[in-house]
Structure 1
Amino acid sequence: MLNCSKPKTLALLVASALSMLAMGSAQAETHIGGSLKVNYAYKEFSESSKSKGGDLDFNSFELKVKSEWDDVGMKAAYRFMNGHDYLKFGYAYYNGLPDWQFQAGIINKPFGNRKYASHNWWYSLNYYLGFEDDFDMGVKAQYSQGGWISEMAFFKNSEYKATDARGFAADAARMTINGTDYHNEETNTFNLRQSYGFDTGGISHLVGASLEYGQLYDTKLDDNGTSTAYAVHWDSRYNGYNMQLQFVDYDYDQANQRSTYGVKMLNSAFEVASAGQVYTFNLAKSFKRDWGSFTIYNDYSMVEPDTADANQDRSVLNSTGVSISVKQFQIYIDHYMAKNSVWLGDKGIGLADGDDDWNHRINVNLAYKF
């Protein structure tokens, strides 16, 4: 990864690389797109936010590229955000064998619901533990036939070093967080996901199970802990209705046996309970209109800590909102009601909750996609 000290220079280099790729091979079919996003947030738990009536900020500018040469292709997405930038994903793939696809690079971790475990802009609590829309450095094979989808992946490490807080979903952090020193690095992680799709009485179902096992290398102790998790998930759709159910059991068993675990993402870092269960229950209804479409939803996720620390408390996030698509525009209008949840009035996930209060945030995210 090119480390460029000036964002403007990095932007020019990325744009130049994409331009050269687009003009490269006459046999290649290349598409370049992306999005520009702004975000409004009103935080009931912040006195300054209430006094100002909320804040409207630049959220992100994203460039996406997809290019194919016969059975070989690549996909990548780079995001520039307020104060940092990062590669969300970037990988090559091969489709030359019937029913198979192979990927290598920064790829999506096959764990949990095959697409998302949420409908809203904030995602679910799974995302802040590294179990939703997570991308790491590795290789993956996917086999699809009939209703069966089998995915096998090996990840050597996270997409950025454990000392680099950039990146998308949560990864192990090797840094000091809230006065505690963490020395973990993710390495040698295996993921398996088996999904099966079928229809009953006009209802389409996608059920599945996922497994994860990997090493957590402690650079201070020169010793390895383990990262283990399993999930069962069910996604049903009928006439615009969608129901998602998911259960995750996870254990970040560190070499020092600590009951908290340090993670980093989006240029920040926080602590979570090192072991626990995640429960997810989501409902949504989509509507199509002449001018576009919209989806109303309620997403619920809860983390129940399962460590030796009896002071740790559950975290809960309930998101109610609507997403609207009109031509090139995508709008999310959400109300988040959370207890003991990071960036929603509290400092982590599954930690000791000093106030036991529910916190509220109204959020509007507007994207123009090209």
Structure 2
Amino acid sequence: MKKRSPLLTVLLILLASGSHAQEKPELHIGGALRFNYNYSTWKEGQKERGGDFGYDVFRVNVDAKYKGIKMDTEYRLYAQSFGGGFLKRGWVGYDFDEYSDIQIGLTQVPFGIKANSHSWFFGLDYYVGLEDDHDMGIKYTHEGEKFDYAIAFFKNAEELDFGSTSDISDSRYSYDVGSLPGKDGMTYRNKEINQINGLLNYKIDRSGVQHKLGLSAQYGGLYNLDTRKTGNHYALAAHYELNIRNLDIKAQISTYTYNPKAPEGESNEVIAMTAYGAPYLVASRADIYTLGIGYAIPLNWGPVSSVILYNDFGYMDKKKIEFANTFMNVTGAMFTAGQIYTYVDFAAGKNQPWLGPDWTDGLGTGNPEATWSARFNINIGYYF
């Protein structure tokens, strides 16, 4: 007989130990269809056309649950040039009770504020893999009256090719360490492995004023595909959220370091990261500061029932003095009209790949002569 894995044995014991009153299986299917208008100041041809309006994404969400055992998946289909089709998340899990659960598969990494931004663009942490990241592993979470906490182990980022030294796929939703041929002829080929995460939040609710103070930590290996040696990486964050009626504020300070075991002659000061079909270089060491403010206003404009006004700011302070730092600011509004959600954003950046002409090196070495670039963006989505 084949031996049962220790992880499977533990999971089966945990499943057998609980009791759930739910007798009927639940299945929910949803998704979204989104379109995007884009006008970018650094794209001359686009400016001459007055911007471009086209397809963004079609996604399908499937959730199932029966006697505490559950599944959660989200598959997204972008244009081929934007990475094509891929999972955002996909995991199976078990509810121990109404406060605690376990998830196994492609699940969200517990680090920082869960949604550390208000706009369609996310916050600056997202672009270096520290916001809304999803990796392959196992996670335990508890959400209590005063404390939320999570601990997790991730074997690696989402893996599509199981070769000995195969590069990770560029088709993915969240940013992970990957591979990219550099201008110096080096390839910057690394993979995240054996990562542990811990997150703790303390919640205060007094007279309708809600505070959430938190700390996050992350540590893992960094396997170099050329030298076949393992370096390491780590990140820390302190975060705070405030909710007063219609006002919410998100603030976070995070620091990260990557220590790759690179081939001789290859710089350790940058690493490759990838998502949406297009990798770029990122500084190996940096501090990131973010601050977001949002205010919700009820409306009665025909089908429009509310608008959230917001401003999200991010600053990336790279540890290597010679590197040029990165700035990002998004001012916008999100309108709700039935099942339609529309983001109207004015996003500006300096040394930010998505908001300027320097894709490969913006978050890496940067350009000390870079000026602010801007993108006016409207995203319209029907969610079902």
1:169 aligns with 2:181: no
Match in the other structure for 1:366: 380
Cα separation, 2, equivalents of 1:350 and 1:305: 9
Aligned to 2:24, what secondary structure does the other structure show? Answer: coil
Cα separation, 2, equivalents of 1:185 and 1:135: 14
Match of 2:355 among 344, 347, 357: 344
Using the TM superposition, give the Cα deviation of residue 200 of structure 1 relative to its aligned residue in structure 2, in angstroms.
3.6
Cα separation, 2, equivalents of 1:166 and 1:180: 22
Match in the other structure for 1:286: 296
Match in the other structure for 1:235: 241
1:258 aligns with 2:258: no
What TM-score do you get using the length of structure 2 for normalisation? 0.86
Using the TM superposition, give the Cα deviation of residue 93 of structure 1 relative to its aligned residue in structure 2, in angstroms.
1.2
Cα separation, 2, equivalents of 1:369 and 1:98: 27
Cα separation, 2, equivalents of 1:139 and 1:177: 34
Using the TM superposition, give the Cα deviation of residue 239 of structure 1 relative to its aligned residue in structure 2, in angstroms.
1.5
Match in the other structure for 1:21: none
Using the TM superposition, give the Cα deviation of residue 97 of structure 1 relative to its aligned residue in structure 2, in angstroms.
4.3
Aligned to 2:45, what secondary structure does the other structure show? Answer: helix
Aligned to 1:355, what secondary structure does the other structure show? Answer: coil
Using the TM superposition, give the Cα deviation of residue 131 of structure 1 relative to its aligned residue in structure 2, in angstroms.
0.5
Confirm or deny: 8 A CA contact 1:106 1:137 kept in the other structure.
yes
Aligned to 2:172, what secondary structure does the other structure show? Answer: coil
Match in the other structure for 1:7: none
Match of 1:44 among 37, 41, 57: 41
Cα distance change on mapping 1:242 and 1:98 into 2, 3 Å: closer
Cα separation, 1, equivalents of 2:284 and 2:273: 10
Structure 1 gaps of 5+ residues are 1-25
Match in the other structure for 1:195: 201
Match of 2:220 among 214, 224, 228: 214
State the identity as a percent.
30
1:276 aligns with 2:286: yes
Using the TM superposition, give the Cα deviation of residue 102 of structure 1 relative to its aligned residue in structure 2, in angstroms.
0.4
Task: Say which is worse superposed, 338-347 or 260-269, in terms of deviation.
Answer: 338-347
Confirm or deny: 8 A CA contact 1:240 1:285 kept in the other structure.
yes
Confirm or deny: 8 A CA contact 2:179 2:279 kept in the other structure.
no
Cα separation, 2, equivalents of 1:81 and 1:293: 28
Cα distance change on mapping 1:123 and 1:177 into 2, 3 Å: farther
Cα separation, 2, equivalents of 1:192 and 1:151: 6
Using the TM superposition, give the Cα deviation of residue 206 of structure 1 relative to its aligned residue in structure 2, in angstroms.
1.1
Match in the other structure for 2:124: 125
Match in the other structure for 2:151: 152
Report Cα offsets for 1:168-210 as digits up to 9, x if no partner: 1110113424554012011000000001111244310111000
Corresponding letter in the other structure for 1:27: K
Structure 2 gaps of 5+ residues are 1-22, 161-166
Using the TM superposition, give the Cα deviation of residue 356 of structure 1 relative to its aligned residue in structure 2, in angstroms.
2.2
Cα separation, 2, equivalents of 1:244 and 1:97: 29
Aligned to 2:353, what secondary structure does the other structure show? Answer: coil
Report Cα offsets for 1:49-75 as digits up to 9, x if no partner: 111100111000000000110211100
Corresponding letter in the other structure for 1:264: T
Cα separation, 1, equivalents of 2:207 and 2:159: 46
Corresponding letter in the other structure for 2:340: F
Match of 2:334 among 319, 323, 331: 323
Corresponding letter in the other structure for 2:120: W
1:355 aligns with 2:369: yes
What TM-score do you get using the length of structure 1 for normalisation? 0.89
Task: Say which is worse superposed, 174-183 or 156-165, in terms of deviation.
Answer: 174-183
Cα distance change on mapping 1:60 and 1:176 into 2, 3 Å: same
Match in the other structure for 1:9: none
Aligned to 1:343, what secondary structure does the other structure show? Answer: helix
Task: Say which is worse superposed, 201-210 or 225-234, in terms of deviation.
Answer: 201-210
1:61 aligns with 2:58: yes
Confirm or deny: 8 A CA contact 2:326 2:363 kept in the other structure.
yes
Cα separation, 1, equivalents of 2:54 and 2:159: 26
Corresponding letter in the other structure for 1:280: T
Using the TM superposition, give the Cα deviation of residue 147 of structure 1 relative to its aligned residue in structure 2, in angstroms.
1.4
